[in-house]
Amino acid sequence: MDSANAILGHLNSGAHTLIINSSGGDACAGILLAREITARKTFVIVEKFCFSSCANYIFLPAYKKMLMRGAVLGFHGGVDGDHDKARNSTIPIVQREIERQRRYAQQDKEFFAQIGVNRELFKISYEITKPAEIKYTYTGTANGQVNVFTSESAATEFLGSLAAQGKPAALSISIEAISSDKVYFPNSDTLRRYGVHGILTYPYPANQNEMDKLAKTIDDAFEAVGDF
């Protein structure tokens, strides 16, 4: 949210151009920022990398957009995600988190319909980059102590035990449903096919081997999948 506020502050100062490097951020803040970028007809220049929420909510909504040579644009899904396990949860905090994501998904759907971008792009990028396993982490806090669980049954048992003793407890959940080290870097023709306009300069690797070398400039463990 701090980076989103910094960008908004930059735009509020009268700037119409953003030169950006970002690995992404919060979807809620991203949607708000996307609306501002659209309304202000902002020109976005990706210097080195723009991933996740940056790709979805900063690059795509920009009135004009470009990549500098050697820059990587990376998608790995959208706010819909894949949360089937969580949707069947009986824990209230998990149900509230899923409901929160549903609200974001609706806002996301309405926004991209407004700017004419087909959200199938996000679904395809998720299928290409999705992790082998979706990780759910439950963090329970009671009496100043923090307990971390990786299964809902353990978290439920924790809450039930404290409730039986009349002790208050708090529980939060973190859902890792997207890859943190793999992105889909589509070519400009693919982006245009999904309704993305205003692309000026978009240097793109000639083949997957070049794409792999480019990905290693981000991090040795980083992977980018292209349209080859």
Neighbours of 18 (CB within 10 A): 19
Provide the pLDDT confidence category of residue 1 given band limits of 50, 70 and 90: very low
Is there a single domain that holds both residue 194 and residue 211?
yes
Residues 172 and 197 grouped into a single domain: no
pLDDT for residue 82 is more than 80: no
- Residue 102 inside a domain? The answer is no
9 versus 133: the higher-pLDDT residue is 9
Instruction: Examine the domain organization and report whether 72 and 184 are in the same domain.
Output: yes
The total domain count for the chain is 2
Q: Do 65 and 9 fall within a single domain?
A: yes
Q: Is residue 101 part of a domain?
A: no
Q: Quick one: 62 and 25 in the same domain?
A: yes
pLDDT digit string, tens, across residues 42-66: 999 999 999 999 999 999 999 999 9
Can you give the residue range of the structural domain that contains 23? 2-78+179-225
pLDDT of residue 99: 77
Question: 145 and 36, same structural domain?
Answer: no
Residues 9 and 71 in one domain: yes
**Are 11 and 74 part of one and the same domain?**
yes
CA distance 70 to 80: 30
- Residue 197 is assigned to a structural domain of this protein: yes
- Is residue 158, in this structure, part of any structural domain at all? yes
Determine how many CB atoms are found less than 10 A away from the CB of residue 128: 17
Angle between helices 2-12 and 27-39 (to 10 degrees): 10
Distance between CA atoms of residues 171 and 155, nearest Å? 8
Residue 214 falls within a domain, yes or no? yes
- 69 and 7 within one domain: yes
C-alpha–C-alpha distance, residues 33 and 3, integer Å: 10
Task: Specify if 19 maps to a domain.
Answer: yes
Query: Would residue 45 count as lying in a domain?
Result: yes
Inside any domain, residue 83: no
Tell me, yes or no, whether 8 and 59 share the same domain: yes
pLDDT in the model for residue 89: 63
Residues 168 and 212 in one domain: no
Least confident among 55-64, 79-88, 111-120, 164-173: 79-88
